[in-house]
Structure 1
Amino acid sequence: MKINSTVILTLVLLILMLGAGSVSALLGFNLGSSALKGVTTPDGRPTSKFATTKSNSSQSGEVTLLKEEEILKTVKARIEGKAKVAKSDKLDEDDEEINNRKQKQKEKTEVVVEEKPQAGFPVTAESEGVTLAVQSARYSGGDLLLKVKMQNKGADSVRFLYSFLDVTDDKGRTLSASTEGLPSELPASGTAFSGTVSIPTALLDDVKKVSLSLTDYPDQKLKLEVSNIPVDK
């Protein structure tokens, strides 16, 4: 009975092992079938491959070859466009150069019309190479305007303080005056400087002549006296 029990147990174990193996094989087959769903066998025919490649190439985009005439036309148009731009720039430069030349020529040929000398003028005084000249006298805006020119032909520059400018009338009375445009320092270059001496008209009701007196500052080595300047209205 002991031997029979062992045989039976052995058979049961074999049966269980066979059953487990069968179940495992079935499960493996099902899993493999599921994994291979949708997978097809590749087409090994070369003609089909080439046809597919050609079809894909045509779908991705066709290469269009331009005609030689069109290429030449495009190149010619670009060259002409650049030439027109260059020509336009050249014309602008030429116009600017012509205008500059005309302006320079105008400046060269422009005649400076000198003011016609007024009767009794200029009235001039000179001291130590320095000249003070009254060029003209005219009334404007309630003032008498004396146009003055100063020039230094001496060896040294000369300084002036125009608050020391004395202006007197033909009766010896001192008149108030202001200056404009006259240099505070007159260089020894011989260059002429112009300016204006202004005298209020209200002070000149019965005045026919005025005089100017100016000395350098602070040395007072020279004295410029311009007398009997006609100021008749």
Structure 2
Amino acid sequence: MKKSIKSDRTLLLTSILLFFMLAAGILSGVLGFISGHEALKGVTQPDIRPNNNKGGNKQNINTKGLELLQEQELIANVKKQMGIEEPKKDAQQAKDAKQKASAFEKAVKNDPKTGLPIAKLPIVREDQGISMTVKSIESKGNNVRIEVAVANYGSQPINFGQGISVINDRSQSVSANTSGLPSSLAASGKEVKVMLTIPKNALDKVKSVSLQLTDIDKKLQLEASGVPVGK
């Protein structure tokens, strides 16, 4: 008899426990559903169905596709934010080059004897006490000869590198022979004569050149630009 009562109590307690667990599960599910429903209020799934204008209900739905941003526009906006200036447009660069060429043609005249433009000589450039002077331009045989004088008015001797570089008006290096330029120029203030000899075939369709002179350490920057050598 006692065992039967004890078994009934155990069964009752187990049933009550299962009931409470089931009720708690149901309550938890209901609360989760309500919370999710409240959180998703106002959120709707986009209608991706094609428009169907058949039948009595015709609706004009204005759909807009995905907009792709242009790469150039993105780059321009980034450069603008970073404060990077855009380079000049090709048309503007061509215009500037044309204006420079026109100004050059007005500034010089051709020598009737040599056929070379008459330059406004001397052309003098100075840097760190070193001077480079373009004194004369002469056509001789198959070559064009440019006489240059260099002088050191500083307090220290200057050691030159590979001589005087010649660059044409298309920013191309021109082959030239340099004679008379010493490897080291004393600080005496005395002018040293240097002769540049350029083959005429290296100056085809070239109107002017730039003469560039630097030292071994490339701290010296001397450049005489606009030296006329072509018709």
More helix by share: 1
After TM superposition, the score normalised by the length of structure 1 is 0.47
Determine which structure has more spread, i.e. the larger CA radius of gyration: 1
After TM superposition, the score normalised by the length of structure 2 is 0.47
